[in-house]
Amino acid sequence: MAEPLPRHLLIPFAGRGSPACRAALPTLRLPNLEALLSRLSLAEADTQDESTRSPPHERALARALGISAPDGCIPWAALEARQSGIAEPGDREGWGLVSLCNWQVGIDDVVLGDPAAIEIDAAESAALLAAAHPFFEEDGIALHPSPTPGRWLARAHIFEGLATASIDRAVGHPISQWSPLAHAARPLRRLQNEMQMLLYTQRVNDDRAARGVPPINSFWLSGTGALEAGLPLADTAPPAVSDALRVAALRDDGLGWAEAWQALDASSIATLLADYTAGADVTLTLCGDRTAQRYAVQQRGLVGWARSLFDRPRAASVLEAL
């Protein structure tokens, strides 16, 4: 008989320290999560403060894929370029993700809006890529489209070792708090200024204004770094990553976050619990602002098994610790 397949679910923003989401914690009723946690054991915890450029869910995913990298240098762009066939397996040059976005200009600061919410289509993305290409090329940066409209893959030596903040860290915060400060980033800041002027003149933004959607007025750089040559990505299947909580968490929509958690508990968590009951080797990774906790199947004695039936962990307590 074949061995049951392992199943790994990774949940970003499972815990959130922003005011409204934190206030919503005591209202959560997550019976499937509590039942699953009572059957699994904490196998690994990664805790750092909230100043890290790479949030816990990105660190946990990189670890699951067998990628080791300094903070802010998890090479997501290089990985996507290799997987899509743009980069050769032996390619050691740096890559970065260029995400078009809306910078929200306030009285005191400029705040990064979520690039996932700009409502850009493939035609708009291609038109802006064509306009931006010469400016990036002047700085030795080669641009490539990606399957996601509004996100481009950029290749250049400058991206090797350049630490950049994840979009999931920077959204909703002042640009100055998370922009790269390294000397190597100076040409990128100049390029960003040039792109702001270029985007202001683009027909795409005129059409967006007519549709009543925010203008695309800048870009955010993230996922920088080089992928090790011959890196054997994890032998097991990569985790399934749920984005169900992301939007509400980034907006600090406590009610929406709680509702998304309830729906997640009734769907993906319930499925993982059923897989465990059927004998699968399941893993659950819960990630918050500071911590990623990985829960896995581990052998327990009779006493531990009996205790798990009656001493279920409270979901709110577990999530608050993230």
- The pLDDT tens digits for 96-109 are 999 999 998 877 78
DSSP E strand stretches across the chain: 7-11, 41-47, 95-101, 103-105, 110-112, 142-145, 151-155, 218-225, 240-241, 282-287, 291-296
Q: Are 261 and 13 in contact (CB under 8 A)?
A: no
Mean pLDDT of 211-233: 85
Tens-place pLDDT, residues 194-207: 999 999 899 999 99
Mean pLDDT of the chain: 89
Rg (CA), the chain: 21
For 16, 246, 247, 264, 282, the CA distances from 243, given in Å and listed in that order, are 14, 5, 8, 10, 19
Using 50, 70 and 90 to split pLDDT, how confident is the model at 79? very high
pTM reported for the whole predicted model: 0.91
Q: Please identify, among 193, 225, 257, the residue that sits at the C-terminal boundary of a domain.
A: 225
Measured between alpha carbons, how far is 240 from 274 in angstroms, rounded to an integer?
A: 16
pLDDT at 81 over 80: yes
pLDDT at 308 over 70: no
pLDDT at position 97, please? 97
pLDDT at position 303, please? 46
Tens-place pLDDT, residues 245-275: 999 999 999 999 999 999 999 999 999 999 9
Q: Please identify, among 201, 225, 249, the residue that sits at the C-terminal boundary of a domain.
A: 225
pLDDT at 293 over 90: yes
pLDDT at position 6, please? 62
Mean pLDDT of 172-192: 83
Residue 268: DSSP 8-state? I
- Domain span at 42: 7-66+235-320
149 & 209 share domain: yes
Query: How many structural domains is the chain composed of?
Result: 2
Q: Residues, the chain, total? A: 322
Mean pLDDT of 231-244: 77
Q: Please identify, among 196, 225, 254, the residue that sits at the C-terminal boundary of a domain.
A: 225
Could you tell me if residue 71 is inside a domain? no
Q: Are 290 and 49 in contact (CB under 8 A)?
A: yes
Share of residues in the chain with pLDDT > 70 (%): 89
Measured between alpha carbons, how far is 172 from 166 in angstroms, rounded to an integer?
A: 12
pLDDT at 5 over 60: no
Which of these, 14, 24, 57, 256, lies nearest to 169 by C-alpha position? 57
Using 50, 70 and 90 to split pLDDT, how confident is the model at 230? low
204 & 254 share domain: no
CB count, 10 Å around CB of 17? 14
Residue 158 tokens read as: 């400058």
Tens-place pLDDT, residues 17-62: 999 999 999 999 999 999 999 999 999 999 999 999 999 999 999 9
Using 50, 70 and 90 to split pLDDT, how confident is the model at 227? confident
pLDDT at position 85, please? 87
195 & 278 share domain: no
**Cα–Cα–Cα angle for 77, 134, 180, nearest 5°?**
45
Token pair 């039936």: residue: 309
> What are the residues whose beta carbons fall under 8 Å from the beta carbon of 102, sequence distance 6 or more?
113, 118, 214, 215, 216, 217, 218
CATH number of residue 93's parent domain: 3.30.70
pLDDT at position 179, please? 86
